[in-house]
Structure 1
Amino acid sequence: MSQLLKNYDLERLAISTVASHTALQILRGAKKYGFRTIAVARGEAVAQFYRQFPFIDEVWVGDFANFRKTAEKLAANNAVFIPHGSYVEYVGWRQALEAPVPTLGCRELLRWEADQFKKMSLLEKAGIPIPRIYKTAEEVEGPVIVKLFGAKGGRGYFVARDRRELAERLKRVTEDYIIQEYLFGVPAYYHYFSSPVYSRLEIFGADIRYESNVDGRTFGWAEPTFVVVGNLPMVLRESLLPTIYTYGVQFLKAVEEAVGCKLAGPFCLESIIKDDMSIVVFEFSGRIVAGTNIYMGYGSPYSVLYFDKPMDMGERIAHEIKEAVKRGKIEHLFT
């Protein structure tokens, strides 16, 4: 990727992503900062939706079963690529690792993110509190949540009250999964930006995920499910911010030591805040998360602390790329 970037015309960079998830804010931010923009859609119906927006210069229909061809076309068009959850889910982490186009962030981290056990081991290595992990139903004490591997937006997750219920329900699970202690408290998802340009970590925002039968009006009549349908904005107690920042710093250090690359750009730590104000992290996302859509267009409440003006995550990405080009640091952003 380093050699490929050297052949790019950095004055004519295009910013590209898959037409889903956070594509609108990514491409809107890119256009605001003067970049050419490309969206890669999964089918013509999706492409038609994205073609209505004037900040998207080109919308392609991509072959997600063989994404290499699309990646090569992107590279031929002087484009860099911004990964997000839908991209990881549509193409799979193996194709994502091999796609021959400069990709924002630590690409190898996508392999770790796809494996729930590797994911939790990385958080543990970072010294961040995590829920108890059970290997079998026989070990279980109290309620648990079962999560499938991959970026599924909560689809297929379920809870069990005890080991007997868990053992019965696991008989119907055919995919890879992890069993986690079910934590009681408030869910909170922290948005970070790791900046090689400014040599700092930024807390950029927070959200709560709105999940189908957990948050919907089911009144105990339906099975709890965790399919994410949207996101709600969250402003944290200021006294929590030092701990949240420390966990972000520790996570970056663990990524560098265990994964072997420095993480650049957005990432997220996903947690439960208990009533004693302790924070337990149960997931991470090593790229932009859909929760950042909550402040698209008007800016993160924390962005003003760093830039003295509001900025959403799409704009923040574009700002970093533009400054990296100016300062000769573009290779620090992409793998």
Structure 2
Amino acid sequence: MSSQWILKEEIDEILDCYDQANLKIATIGSHSALQILKGARDENFKSLAICSEAVSWFYEQFDFIDEVISVRNYKDILKKRFQEELIQDNCILIPHGSFVEYVGAEAILTKLKVPCFGNRITLEWESDREKEMSWFEEARIKVPKVFKKPEEIDRLAIVKFFGAKGGKGYFLVRNKDEFYEMKKFVKKANSYLIQEYVIGTRFYPHYFYSKILDRLELLGMDIRYESNVDALGRIPPRISRSLELRESYSITGNIPVVARESLLPKILEIGYNLLNASRKLFSFGIIGPFCIEMICTEHLELVCFEISSRIVAGTNFYMDGSPYSSLYFDEPMSCGRRICREINLALSSGRLKEVIF
């Protein structure tokens, strides 16, 4: 990233001018916005949904959202006047997957001066596959083999593209010839990662690191519902062979899951390892929600392959809490509400700057 990053001190100065008794929680109307904004209401904050003109009507259906603003392009958020209005309104932005995809990690780091919950530096590390792999390496977490070039492929592998695109365009290959054949069908496929495809069951744990409580929480878990790969099994082999279908991995939904209890210590340990590694690799480390996508093999070995260093859409199933969040809280606690609870805890202890960047 070539442009100069916004400094934490700049955000702190802006936060000093906020009326902290009247903070407003804001995010883009997509991904996990409903959960976040409902969490804001549950925690007694005002809320704002920033929506495209096509979906504003939808977010206006919900009474817990106090205000809906329409924009022609989500990058309008970066305009000076728009940012000034958000700052004047004491807004705290909550980044999510669509936020990162539509606005861009680099723009958030270099142009967005509105205070955000969490550590915005993590967005660069989740958006860059090579940095993501170095993060896993620092944490000493087992990952699939990475092939540096197509000619190295000697087993079943998956090809992934950079950015928060919900699995769009991913494909499986067994050798370099299949790679070059499949790559023809993907547009703008210059930046990619070739990774060993590990066979096993999927677990995507939802973690939350509380800076205020100094506690890592396991709030939930999901698996992704992907089109069309999750539908291919419904087609009999006698038919599918003749159709010459190409698999795709576009995420269309999420399915709740719980892991066997004997796996939970391993899952939480992996979360701690990634958290500790983040503190070594970049300033402040992870703050708030993150997710590690992993495979559990038949030998109960956990192999990790992706990080989302902000709230993930898989938490949407648990708007009233999950089996795991109930172990920490005696009330419904979604990840969106947990973010807003952390802001409340920071406010009451005079530590708001520790969770906002």
Instruction: Give the TM-score of the pair, scaled to structure 2.
Output: 0.90
Q: Is the 8 Å Cα contact of residues 67 and 95 (structure 1) preserved in structure 2?
A: no
Q: Is the counterpart of residue 204 in structure 1 residue 219 in structure 2? A: yes
Q: Is the counterpart of residue 322 in structure 1 residue 322 in structure 2? A: no
Helix, strand or coil at the partner of 1:204: strand
Question: What displacement does 1:169 show?
Answer: 2.5
Give deviations 1:296-329, integer Å, cap 9, x for gaps: 1x21211121123331111111111111100111
For residue 144 of structure 2, the aligned residue among 127, 131, 135 is 131
Question: What displacement does 1:205 show?
Answer: 0.7
Query: Kindly tell me: are residues 172 and 304 of structure 1, through their superposed partners in 2, closer, same or farther at Cα, counting changes over 3 Å?
Result: closer
| Structure 2 counterpart of 1:49 | 58
Q: Which amino acid aligns with 2:27?
A: T
1:230-245 aligned at under 5 Å gives the runs: 230-245=253-268
Q: Is the counterpart of residue 25 in structure 1 residue 32 in structure 2? A: no
Question: What displacement does 1:171 show?
Answer: 5.0
Helix, strand or coil at the partner of 1:165: helix
For residue 49 of structure 2, the aligned residue among 35, 39, 61 is 39
Question: What displacement does 1:162 show?
Answer: 2.4
Q: Is the 8 Å Cα contact of residues 153 and 174 (structure 2) preserved in structure 1?
A: no
1:262-277 aligned at under 5 Å gives the runs: 262-277=285-300
Q: Is the 8 Å Cα contact of residues 122 and 285 (structure 2) preserved in structure 1?
A: no
Distance in 2 (alpha carbons) for counterparts of 1:36 and 1:67: 19
Distance in 2 (alpha carbons) for counterparts of 1:157 and 1:71: 35
Q: Is the 8 Å Cα contact of residues 92 and 114 (structure 2) preserved in structure 1?
A: yes
| Structure 1 counterpart of 2:309 | 286
Helix, strand or coil at the partner of 2:95: coil
Show structure 1 runs of 4+ deviating over 3 A: 170-174
Question: What displacement does 1:270 show?
Answer: 0.4
Structure 1 stretch 66-75 or stretch 145-154: which is displaced more?
66-75
| Structure 2 counterpart of 1:254 | 277
| Structure 1 counterpart of 2:205 | 190
| Structure 2 counterpart of 1:334 | 356
Question: What displacement does 1:64 show?
Answer: 2.2
Q: Is the counterpart of residue 81 in structure 1 residue 93 in structure 2? A: yes
Give deviations 1:231-256, integer Å, cap 9, x for gaps: 00011111111111111111111111
Distance in 1 (alpha carbons) for counterparts of 2:74 and 2:328: 37
Q: Is the 8 Å Cα contact of residues 154 and 174 (structure 2) preserved in structure 1?
A: no
For residue 154 of structure 1, the aligned residue among 164, 167, 172 is 167
Question: What displacement does 1:124 show?
Answer: 1.4
Aligned residues: 333
Distance in 1 (alpha carbons) for counterparts of 2:122 and 2:102: 17
Q: Is the counterpart of residue 214 in structure 1 residue 229 in structure 2? A: yes
Distance in 1 (alpha carbons) for counterparts of 2:343 and 2:38: 14
Q: Is the 8 Å Cα contact of residues 104 and 333 (structure 1) preserved in structure 2?
A: yes
Instruction: Give the TM-score of the pair, scaled to structure 1.
Output: 0.96
Q: Is the 8 Å Cα contact of residues 27 and 49 (structure 2) preserved in structure 1?
A: yes
Q: Is the 8 Å Cα contact of residues 288 and 310 (structure 2) preserved in structure 1?
A: yes
Q: Which amino acid aligns with 1:26?
A: I
Q: Is the 8 Å Cα contact of residues 17 and 83 (structure 1) preserved in structure 2?
A: yes
Q: Which amino acid aligns with 2:289?
A: P
Distance in 1 (alpha carbons) for counterparts of 2:114 and 2:224: 31
